[in-house]
Amino acid sequence: MNDMPEKLAPMCELIDEVKALADIPEDQWTGAIAEGKWSPQEIIGHIMLWDKHFLEHAIRPMAAKEPMDMPKVELDEFNREAAAFARSQGRQELIDQTVRCREQIIGELKRIPEDDYATEYNTGSGKLSVDEYLADLYWHDRHHMNQIKHYIANGQN
């Protein structure tokens, strides 16, 4: 039984959600979702750069059956840089980059045989399977997209 489409479907949800952000007012795009929190723009930059990081250091090596090269990341610094990166990009450019990166991840994951999704790969500091990655990514996507949806629904800014 091929469960791959079902496993990858949640990753595709983000693509449509991010594309829809092209239509929100500029003040909502750049306004903080709450006091001391990021804007939707910064959240999308954060998601995109984490996608890029995992694509380059985990997903492509998994698909190529090569060792992972997962550098240790200082989370606060990475996230600060992601927010600054997002602010330096035009809205459509950032949306396009995010969609393109997510599509590349999906393409690479399709190259991995589904039977290998439970295989644990050595990251250098631990282990990671495709199934674990998908579960973590789904949680991360839902967390941030729900923040944005709540912010927009409440008409803030």
SS (H, E, C) 110-132: HHCCHHHCCCCEECCCCEECHHH
Residue 156's pLDDT band, with cuts at 50, 70 and 90, is: low
Taking only the tens place, the pLDDT of each residue in 96-120 is 999 999 999 999 999 999 999 999 9
What's the pLDDT band for 2 if we cut at 50, 70, 90? Answer: low
Q: Give 127-136 pLDDT, tens digit per residue.
A: 899 999 999 9
Alpha-carbon distances of 36 from 32, 33, 39, rounded to whole Å: 7, 8, 10
Instruction: Kindly state the tokens that stand for 35.
Output: 């006091």
Reported as a pLDDT band with limits 50, 70 and 90, residue 157 is low
Model confidence pTM above 0.75: yes
Over residues 25-35, mean pLDDT: 96
Topology of 4-23+34-153 in CATH? Four Helix Bundle (Hemerythrin (Met), subunit A) (1.20.120)
Query: Binning pLDDT at 50, 70 and 90, where does residue 7 land?
Result: confident
Q: What's the mean pLDDT in 76-86?
A: 97
pLDDT at 28 over 60: yes
116-149 in b/e form (b: 16+ CB < 10 A) is ebeeebebeeeebebeebbeebbeebeebbebbe
| Percent of the chain topping pLDDT 70 | 97
- The domain ranges of the chain are 4-23+34-153
